Structure 1
Amino acid sequence: MAIRYPCLSLLLVVPLTTAACIGSEIEEEPEELVGAAEGEMISGNGMLPNALNRNALNRNGLTPSDLASRGLNPSQLSSTALAVIKDPGTNGSLSREMLRYTVSCALRPDQTFSFSWTDSSGIDHQEVYRGDLGYAHWWATQAIGNDTYVQHQITACLAARINWYGVSVTISLRNNELASTPEERAAYPVREGAFWGNVFAPTPYLGACYDPVGHVRARQVQRDCAAGHVEIDPVTGEITLQQCGPMVIWGSCHQLCNGLDSVNGYFKGCVTNYSVSPYVRTDQVVTTFLTPGP
């Protein structure tokens, strides 16, 4: 059956322009929509778990732009940002999650971000967030400021790890800075889609596209953010696709992105914002890969 993407104006974190949608149909079998989540963290390369809540990039909490002007460590955070990550309420929880994933994308495995906070029952919690990919390891001591290359790389990493269900599914992340080993490519051969954007910009944005084949496997393992989350009206049976928070799903990657890397299989660049221009592209894109089905 054909499932059409609605052009959504999303109210979460970022003001988005969604004047047009392309690649609006996917042929889908309903029994393949939902499957089991999988995976613990696998160390090395770009194989990482995702479970970043689609609401974690919330203007009521800590935002990436709050972090960019200072070093990514507790001693350099502003008093406002420090108060947010120590908030015992929902905003604090989402802010800590966003911070943990930012640290994972930006810092190296030998770097950590540590702090403590106290919950509403007076119980102290010690947080230690460890780096993984090292996109901006120097951020631990100095601001990334207006370095748009780094901003785009970290944004793509964050976008690739958003999960509609908040479940941990180990994925393989690949781009020009994340080469993969033969073993990783053999274990994660199913291309899901690609992610890009800049959540540090004055007008933040996130973009995604789906692989016309891989989206079926993505839904089996509860990865909905490249192809859209399926909602079925219990009364009418009407099917709509919801996007993951502020992310705009523009359509098929084969329509939006240029050539594939011949070894690692990632897209080398994608259209930044189709509603603005079909010609402006970004090379800071993360392509995600999944394990094969049974």
Structure 2
Amino acid sequence: MSCSLRPDQTFSFSWTDANGVVHPEVYRGDLGYAHWWTTTPLGTATTNNTYVQGQITACLAARMNWYGVSVRISLRNNEMASTPEERAAFPVREGAFWGNVFSTTQAPYLRACYSPAGVARARQLQRDCAAGHLSVDPVTGATAVQPCGSMQIVGSCDTVCNGKDYVNGFYRGCIRNSSVSPWERTDEVITTFLTAGP
């Protein structure tokens, strides 16, 4: 809910455990990337609201972390601009994230790309999902790059994305799925930024 709803919006439900105890739950929004989700369905069996699905998926992917640790990041795209203070506090472009895990008409997918200049800082902060997690084969000693779960790392953002927003620095669009089309782009992309190193 924190990706999709605004701070003034909540999602409430309750569930019953094996002992018959009812547990009420309330989840508050935060970022508001798809705050209209409360009145517009993500999709039905035959139709999709692909824009909303893409925005929420990009936010979820951008916040994934191989290590499960909290790292302060700045998320930017055409829906969420940044303030001058935020841009000053988070100057290192890490990478970009996009996909659709909610579609009812196509296979779910997650994509990520990395900003070459941000790879070292991302790994220093334990953020490996844009550039990939480095692991060492215990038998051969070779280093391999692993994706975060089902997220496909498609390489440098400089290769797969076009145009950066002049003020906020986010990528305006990236290739949706290069195995289907090398030309079809999506603008449902979130670019992540990190704090500068010490």
Name the Cα RMSD after superposition: 1.7
Structure 2: gaps (5+ residues) = none
1:113 matched residue in structure 2: 11
Q: Would you say the 8 A contact 2:130–2:153 is kept in 1?
A: yes
Q: How does 1:237-276 map to 2 (within 5 A)?
A: 237-276=141-180
1:127 matched residue in structure 2: 25
TM-superposition CA deviations, 1:236-256 (whole Å, max 9, x none): 211111111111000000011
1:192 correspondence with 2:94: yes
TM-score of the pair, normalised by structure 1: 0.62
In 2, distance between residues paired with 1:124 and 1:291?
Answer: 42
TM-superposition CA deviations, 1:159-198 (whole Å, max 9, x none): 1111111111111000111100000000000000000111
1:159 matched residue in structure 2: 61
In 2, distance between residues paired with 1:121 and 1:243?
Answer: 39
| Structure with greater helix percent | 1
| Structure with greater strand percent | 2
1:180 correspondence with 2:82: yes
Q: Would you say the 8 A contact 2:37–2:52 is kept in 1?
A: no
TM-score of the pair, normalised by structure 2: 0.90
2:73 alignment partner, one of 171, 176, 181? 171
* Percent sequence identity over aligned pairs: 72
Cα drift, residue 289 of structure 1: 0.2
Q: Would you say the 8 A contact 2:34–2:55 is kept in 1?
A: no
Cα drift, residue 137 of structure 1: 2.2
Q: Secondary structure at the match of 1:163?
A: coil
TM-superposition CA deviations, 1:9-59 (whole Å, max 9, x none): xxxxxxxxxxxxxxxxxxxxxxxxxxxxxxxxxxxxxxxxxxxxxxxxxxx
Q: 1:119 to 1:169 in 2, by over 3 A?
A: farther
Q: Secondary structure at the match of 1:113?
A: strand
Paired positions, count: 192
In 2, distance between residues paired with 1:118 and 1:283?
Answer: 40
Q: Secondary structure at the match of 2:2?
A: helix
TM-superposition CA deviations, 1:183-222 (whole Å, max 9, x none): 0000000000000111122311111100101011001111
